[in-house]
Structure 1
Amino acid sequence: MKTYISLALSLFFTITLVAQDKTCNCCTEKYSEFDFWLGTWEVTNPNGTRAGVNVIKKVQNNCILQENWISATPGYTGTSNNFYNYKANQWEQIWVDNQGQSLHLKGNKVGNQMILRTEDETNAEGKTFFHRVTWTDNDDGSVRQLWETVTEGKEVAIAFDGLYKRKD
């Protein structure tokens, strides 16, 4: 009987130590920089019309912020995975929508803004351009997402300007 009790106690302490020994590799301050975007959001355009709903949650043991976008335009959805790439010392986003479009953005947090951009590309007119998306953590708890296309380093066109207000 003593053997069973000793074995049971030994097993209990081993399981407890193993459970306590597990660490969350992505539970550091750096991996939390984009947490201001977590939540369920109602998104509006600058004129106040509804742009859509966005749900951002942490997955993969807090290593990825996963975005699930449903546009107010019927039939348009998209998903992104946002993660801190510790090897490159930068944040990255990989966006894919249900129309087959994708973006790969890279950058870092500066003050109260997460600023990510694509690599330079060349458009049909032979001009160099890139996409820059900036998320601003506003004092009132809302988030502004501004997507700009910058051509030849100076011409800026706004592709999307959305104000996120929490639904939850």
Structure 2
Amino acid sequence: MKKIALLLGLLFTALLSTAQNTHCACCTEDHKAFDFWLGAWEVTLPNGNKAGNNLIEKIQGGCVLRENWTGANGNYTGTSYNFYNAGTGLWEQLWLDRSGTILKLKGQRTGNQMILESDETVNEDKSVSVQRITWTLRDDGKVRQVWEVLRDGVSAQVLFDGLYSRKE
């Protein structure tokens, strides 16, 4: 009888362990909202020149999208970590690059666009600036990324405009 109880206990523990390991904490539709950006990409500028290469992959059990950017000349690199914060209901990005730039963004997907913005910065002239990056999924499967500076809510400068085409 003891052997049967021990066997049943081991079987129950194994089943419980398997159930816990198959649970996906980040498999909700909200967590998948930025999946259209996943993949290996060649990025071009509006004039057709190559801007660089980007690899977007899921890590940490699918809870984080990691971006690995390399500019066309290979000298400029950067990494971002993107995740859905279930506590706030927003997507967040932390960008870090080899020049020391740090950018923190947050926002959400609306339709075919992921729109993330920085916190407001008050400028010397008392105007308010926000950095906004918009990723737009196009019908052809390409993704357009526009990084702009808004001043008092109006686009004042485009810092980057790139078209992502999947590598084959």
Normalised TM-score (structure 1): 0.90
CA deviation vs aligned residue, 1:52-99 (integer Å, no higher than 9, x gap): 000000001111000000011441100000000111110000000000
CA contact (8 A) 2:52 2:70 kept: yes
* Inter-partner Cα distance in structure 1 for 2:71 and 2:133: 18
* Inter-partner Cα distance in structure 1 for 2:8 and 2:53: 51
- For structure 1, which segment, 43-52 or 68-77, has the greater mean C-alpha deviation from structure 2 after superposition? 68-77
Among all aligned residue pairs of Structure 1 and Structure 2, give the percentage whose two residues are the same amino acid: 50
1:148 equivalent in alignment to 2:144: no
Show the 5 A alignment for 1:24-103: 24-103=24-103
* C-alpha distance 16-154 of structure 1, shift in aligned 2 (>3 A): same
| Structure 1 counterpart SS, 2:24 | coil
| Structure 1 counterpart SS, 2:31 | helix
* Inter-partner Cα distance in structure 2 for 1:79 and 1:126: 32
1:123 to partner: Cα distance: 3.5
- The equivalent of 1:167 in structure 2 is 167
- The equivalent of 2:20 in structure 1 is 21
1:109 equivalent in alignment to 2:104: no
Report the AA paired with residue 69 of structure 2.
W
Report the AA paired with residue 98 of structure 1.
R
Indicate the RMSD between aligned Cα atoms, in angstroms.
1.9
When the two structures are aligned, how many residues end up with a matched partner?
167
| Structure 1 counterpart SS, 2:66 | strand
- For structure 1, which segment, 7-16 or 18-27, has the greater mean C-alpha deviation from structure 2 after superposition? 7-16
CA deviation vs aligned residue, 1:102-130 (integer Å, no higher than 9, x gap): 10001000000000000111345543211
* Inter-partner Cα distance in structure 1 for 2:130 and 2:157: 11
Where structure 1 has 5 or more consecutive residues not aligned to the other structure, the ranges are none
Report the AA paired with residue 55 of structure 2.
V
